[in-house]
Structure 1
Amino acid sequence: MDSVSETGLRPGELSAWFPIAPLTGKPELRLFCLHHGGGGASAYRDWQKLLDPRVEVVPVQLPGREGRFNEPCELSIRRLTERLTEPILHRAGDVPFAFFGHSMGALLSYELTYELGARGVPPQHLALSGFAPPHLTRPAGVRLLPDQEFMAHIVGLEGTPADLVELPELLDLLLPVLRADFTACETYEYVEREALRVPVTVFGGSEDPGVEVPMLRRWADLVATAPYLRVFPGGHFYLQEQREELVRALADRLGFGLVDQK
């Protein structure tokens, strides 16, 4: 495998994108997990212990949060795709890989799948969670709301504790990240192109106020083979309460079992 310098990646860049140390040994599949807007790689910190050890969970850390809080956030999905492509290829190495992305992470996973497919190295599987397909018209302008209304919208998604808005020091750190991520999603422009030819699984919550089940079904418009759809009880952040069942369903779709927790 080429050294970091030979790939054009800066020293430390791989560990910034992928903060979890690689597993020892060689897995049969690497599962890149992309987090939701305002989130970070820690959203997937417990997934490895649930999955078959032949699958290596590789949480992706976007700039501007957690261990990368001192970096500016990106304001463009396309720019994130450009920046992530080489690190993904390098981290995957010669091991097959798949994507799981929730919310903003789903949109980024979708774009990465096209980019990597164009390079002749598509993922083996694309799992999309909690995000309507990008060819659908969606409400815009959340990023422009005044702080109080903006945070009310975020809290309404039930992924952020309501009492967070009472902690100014935390709110000051979180608001710029959330606004940047909403900007990246709301300014994304869909480009019509050939249907994806990789296996696709779509997950969602039955009570998600912004991504209703009929919207999830419309991912079928963008893929060559009808995607598998699984809806769980819950809202936009259903995966927090349904984590084990979600990972079980994902493991089945990837062809690996769930680790016995007894």
Structure 2
Amino acid sequence: MGAYPAVRPLRPRRAEADNGTWLLIFPHAGGSPSAYRRLAAEVSGWCSTWAVHYPGRQDRIGMRAPMTMDELIDDVTAGVNLLQPPRHLLFLGHSMGAYVAYETALRMQGTAWEPQCLIVSAALAPTSLARADLSTTNKAIMSTALKDLSALPEGLSATELLAPVRSDLALLRDYSRAATASRVRCPLLAVVGDTDALVDAAGAAPWQERTTAHARHTSLPGDHFYFQEAPARLARLLRGTAALTADAEVMVHEYPQYPGQGGRR
């Protein structure tokens, strides 16, 4: 990992709350932590925000992009194991990052880095992912990626801008064929944008099958990158989720369930 570890603070520590709660963000395909700075600012009053920096982009651009999910999780876990685990930990994975967060949570079960809650954002459930068109010829995927890439520094060619997107989609295609049905032990929250052209509520709903704890889902106004348009909405949702899962008894017995599991939406 050298001078650029996989997991680093998203904001200066002096600007963060120091109450033992961490939000660890797993970015989307082709993405980087810089896309989440506005969200980090919104939650800074009650938690410290850290982010995963994937190989092959920004200051880790000299590193080979991982070919498989296992390779990527190896990099993430090596990064977190350099740090002192917090008292209360939430994983937030957006789009491709949802699968990275989910697989990291599985890998960390039984350790001090097992999260108290997994939040999967704008992501099809793994069973739905297996039926999705993850090719670079999918116009909806590529147009969504280009919308996000428009915020990156000028001076890069289209090939350079899209290289991380292409490698991440190849990783996802490989993962979609090999994903297991393993379940995390923490509560799970699935969030989608209500106008997202890539992920709807029906496609995200089967995430309920990926936890042995309680799960719920909700939607927020906006498209695939709804959190960039109004980060305060997601920040409020995250704060409420953190409060619910801070208490072990609440985490097991009172966390709202999916419809059909005896709970409420």
Q: Please indicate, yes or no, whether the TM-score normalized by the shorter chain is above 0.5.
A: yes
Match of 2:131 in 1: 138
Q: 2:167 aligns with which of 159, 180, 185?
A: 180
Do residues 240 (structure 1) and 240 (structure 2) align? Answer: no
- Most deviating of 63-72 and 106-115: 63-72
Match of 1:217 in 2: 205
TM-superposed CA distance for 1:75, in Å, is 2.4
Aligned residues: 238
Give the Cα separation in 2 of the matches to 1:67 and 1:52: 24
CA contact (8 A) 1:158 1:235 kept: no
TM-superposed CA distance for 1:97, in Å, is 1.7
TM-superposed CA distance for 1:26, in Å, is 4.3
TM-superposed CA distance for 1:233, in Å, is 2.0
Give 5+ residue unaligned stretches, structure 2. 245-265
Do residues 31 (structure 1) and 23 (structure 2) align? Answer: yes
Q: 1:76 aligns with which of 68, 86, 101?
A: 68
Distance 1:91 1:47, change over 3 A: farther
Give the Cα separation in 2 of the matches to 1:73 and 1:226: 34
Give 5+ residue unaligned stretches, structure 1. 1-9, 257-262
Q: Within 5 Å, which residues of 2 pair with 1:1-262?
A: 11-14=2-5, 17-18=7-8, 20=10, 23-24=13-14, 26-119=18-111, 121-136=113-128, 137-143=130-136, 145=137, 153-156=141-144, 159-160=147-148, 169-188=156-175, 189-193=178-182, 195-255=183-243
TM-superposed CA distance for 1:19, in Å, is 5.8
TM-superposed CA distance for 1:94, in Å, is 4.7
TM-superposed CA distance for 1:91, in Å, is 2.5
TM-superposed CA distance for 1:68, in Å, is 1.7
Could you report, residue by residue, the CA deviation over 1:83-139 in whole angstroms, capped at 9, with x for unpaired residues?
Answer: 211321333435332111100111100000000015464111111101111123322
Q: Give the partner amino acid of 2:222.
A: G
Identity %: 24
Root-mean-square deviation (CA, aligned residues, Å) is 2.8
Distance 1:220 1:174, change over 3 A: same
